[in-house]
Every structure is written in C-alpha cells, then in structure tokens.
Amino acid sequence: MYRLFCDSNCELWHTAVKELGLSVIRMPYTVGGEEYFYDMGENTDFADFFRRMREGEVPKTSALNEYDYISHFEPVLASGEDVYYITFSHKMSATFNAMKAAIAELKEKFPDREIRYKDSKSISMGSGFVTYYGALKYREGASMDELDAYLDDIIEHTGTYFVVEDLTYLYRGGRVSGVSKVMGNLLGIKPVLHFDAEGRIININKVKGFKKALASLKGYMREKGSELDKYKVYVLHADNEKAGEEFAESIKQEFGITDVTLQPVGPVIGAHCGPGTIGLIFHCSGK
C-alpha cells in the first residue's frame, strides 16, 4: 500500500482534499511579519490578504527544508506504507532540492519502502487538475506503476493559462523587465501566460485590455480544448470574483458545459501573480 501526497500549491479546495483522502504538504507564506501555511481555503481570509497587497504590503514565500519533508514522509514509511507525492512544477522553486535530500536520507533508513514523486509541470489548479484525476485513479486501486503512466498522460493534456491585472507582481518575481512593467501598466498591456511542457511559465501573447485578454484565454481553450464534457474546467480569480463569475458563465454558454468550477487563488500563488489575476485550466489536446 502507499499514501498519496500533494502540496498546497496545487490549490485543490479543502473539501476535495478530504473527499479524496489526500495527505497535504502545506507551503508557507509570510505577510505582516507572520508566517502561515496555506490550508487549502478552509480558514483563509482571501479578501484581507489581497487587500493588504493592494495597499502595498509585499508578502513573501519560502521553500521548505529537508526536515519538513522528513516529518511528512517518515511516519508513513514507519507504518509500513510507501509514499507517492504529486508536486507542483519543479521549475518554480528550490524546495525540491530539500525534498530530494530528504528522500535520499529516508531511503537509507527505510530501504524496503518506496518513495516516488511526479512533477505535475504546473502550479495552482493546473497542478490541482493533475492531482485531482490522479487521486481518482489512486482511489480505484491503481498501483504506483499504473499511476505513473496515468499521470504522464494527464500532465501532457493539462492546459494552464492565466492573465494578470498588474505587471508589478510578475516584475518582482523576475517574469517581466522593469520597462515592460511600466509601459505595460501605462498602456494596459496584459500578458497571457502559460505553463509549457517543461513546467515553465512562458508569455504566449500580449493583449491590450483585460477583456481582450480573457477573450484570448477562451481562444486557447477553443483551439486546444479536448474532451471538455469529460473533464473539469477551472476558473481561478485572485480577489476578482465578479470577473471570474462572468468569465466562468461565458465559458459555460460558449462551450455548452456545466462543470466549471470557480475558485479563489491562494496566498502563496497570489503573492506572485497579484490581485486581479484570472486563470483557466482545462483538458487539452497537448501542450
């Protein structure tokens, strides 16, 4: 038997996490000098977090250390179970160096136990999409090898697209230059961003105006979406609920689907994309 882990950067809602029986590694963020660990929305005050960002506060995120990973995995291994961990994109954080060191140490201590991990090549509900369907396969009784093969396929067919309201936050994270930030904000230029096959954020379009940027997101879904009646569609918003609701409704009407889940972006991801962001995740024909 094995235990299925995810991390809170997949942003699956807390009710789904409990229903699926997932073990969660919570990722940290600091705001107002206090450190928190994202609880998948169970008790998170999203409005207060993004209000503070809009007022100029700069939240910080940090990587876990080796001990953090050991504290999650060791009790499971000691109980006689193996570990399988679906992670957010390894291109987005140095935390996985600590994870690999922890796994190496644990394998020496528990040589008969197995520890596997799978890079979802995305973050937020892109990673959540992969984790959700992986968890369903896990609950069906899939072996580790079977889950490996299934996840490889679903990762290849997970489309994660988003647009930000203000380039300032991407600039802080090194995603755009200072000149691009200033000119983009002055001219209303909105970059359309996407996770590529390697798990990197890439800029695939620049659109003038937020409404046109959202239309561009739908255009990618129109072009690349596949089996939309079979898989969930997620719309994410960072303190932009009205726009998110309207966008989700327009998707339902245009594509004739009813299973569109609207969900807030959490503080760890929100610290980097900033308030106002809208994201779209769907099953696609390929990245």
pLDDT in tens, 253-281: 999 998 899 999 999 999 999 999 999 99
Shared-domain flag, residues 100 and 174: no
Among 24-28, 72-76, 191-195, where is mean pLDDT lowest? 191-195
Q: Which residue has better confidence, 177 or 145?
A: 145
Question: Residue 181 pLDDT more than 90?
Answer: no
- 45 belongs to a structural domain: no
Question: Residue 179 pLDDT more than 70?
Answer: no
- 90 belongs to a structural domain: yes
Confidence of residue 73 (pLDDT cuts 50, 70, 90): very high
Domain boundary, last residue among 156, 177, 196: 156
- pLDDT value at position 178? 43
pLDDT in tens, 212-237: 999 999 999 999 999 999 999 999 99
Shared-domain flag, residues 163 and 263: yes
Shared-domain flag, residues 7 and 146: yes
Shared-domain flag, residues 149 and 162: no
Domain boundary, last residue among 117, 133, 156: 156
Shared-domain flag, residues 194 and 249: yes
Q: CATH number for the domain including 14? A: 3.40.50.10440
Whose CA is closest to 220, among 161, 134, 172, 148? Answer: 161
Question: Residue 174 pLDDT more than 60?
Answer: no
Shared-domain flag, residues 20 and 151: yes
- 115 belongs to a structural domain: yes
Shared-domain flag, residues 107 and 192: no
What's this model's pTM, rounded to 2 decimal places?
Answer: 0.94
The DSSP element (H or E) to which 250 belongs, if any, is: helix 241-255
Q: CATH number for the domain including 201? A: 3.30.1180.10
Shared-domain flag, residues 164 and 152: no
Shared-domain flag, residues 16 and 142: yes
**What's the structural domain count of the chain?**
2
How far CA 155 is from CA of 48, 95, 111, 127, 280, in Å, comes to 33, 21, 29, 9, 15
**Number of other CB atoms surrounding residue 167 within 10 Å:** 22
- 56 belongs to a structural domain: no
- 42 belongs to a structural domain: no
